[in-house]
């Protein structure tokens, strides 16, 4: 999370609250910050994987990660190509061109 790249679980432990409480704070206050971090600008590889969250009306999301650092770059709603296109479409041409490798399901091996 944030500029230090800490996980939600780390923040929850440090603050003595649940992960859900931390995620609610991220959704309420951190969305603009996350949008402006520019993580993809330094990534040369892009990993994509779908994830199902049971507590949501539309439970599927697609996560984008930098496999080199393991850093979560962005989470897009749904699990279709439309979400991937929307995320990549928000990046400038130079940033997209710098990505040399795209790995679906990068943790599978």
Across residues 44-73, what is the average pLDDT?
A: 80
Are 86 and 105 contained in the same domain? yes
What is the average per-residue pLDDT within 46-69? 80
Q: Which long-range contacts (CB under 8 A, 24 or more apart) does 2-7 make?
A: 2/30, 2/33, 2/37, 3/37, 5/69, 5/71
- How much is the pTM? 0.58
Please tell me whether residues 79 and 92 are part of one structural domain: yes
43 and 10, same domain (yes or no): no
Q: Which pair of tokens denotes residue 51?
A: 């994830």
Question: What is the model's pLDDT at position 16?
Answer: 92
Looking at the predicted structure, is the pLDDT value of residue 36 above 70? no
68 and 95 co-located in one domain: yes
On whether both 11 and 55 belong to a single domain, the answer is no
How many domains would you assign to the chain?
2
In this structure, the answer to whether residues 53 and 97 fall within a common structural domain is: yes
Whether the pLDDT of residue 48 is over 80: the answer is: yes
Residue 53 has pLDDT above 90, yes or no: no
**Domain span at residue 44?**
38-109
- pLDDT greater at residue 56 or residue 49: 49
Does 2 score more than 70 pLDDT?
Answer: no
Do 22 and 43 share a domain, yes or no?
A: no
Tokens of 16: 């003595």
């Amino acid at each position: 999370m944030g500029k230090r790249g800490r996980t939600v679980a780390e923040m929850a432990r440090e603050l003595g609250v649940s992960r859900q409480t931390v995620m609610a704070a991220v959704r309420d206050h951190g969305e603009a910050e996350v949008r402006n971090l520019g993580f993809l600008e330094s990534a040369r590889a892009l990993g994509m994987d779908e994830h199902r969250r049971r507590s949501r009306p539309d439970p599927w999301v697609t996560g984008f990660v930098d496999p080199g650092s393991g850093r979560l770059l962005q989470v897009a709603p749904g699990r279709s190509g439309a979400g991937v296109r929307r995320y990549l479409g928000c990046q400038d041409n130079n940033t997209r061109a710098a990505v040399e490798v795209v790995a679906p399901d990068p943790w599978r091996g």
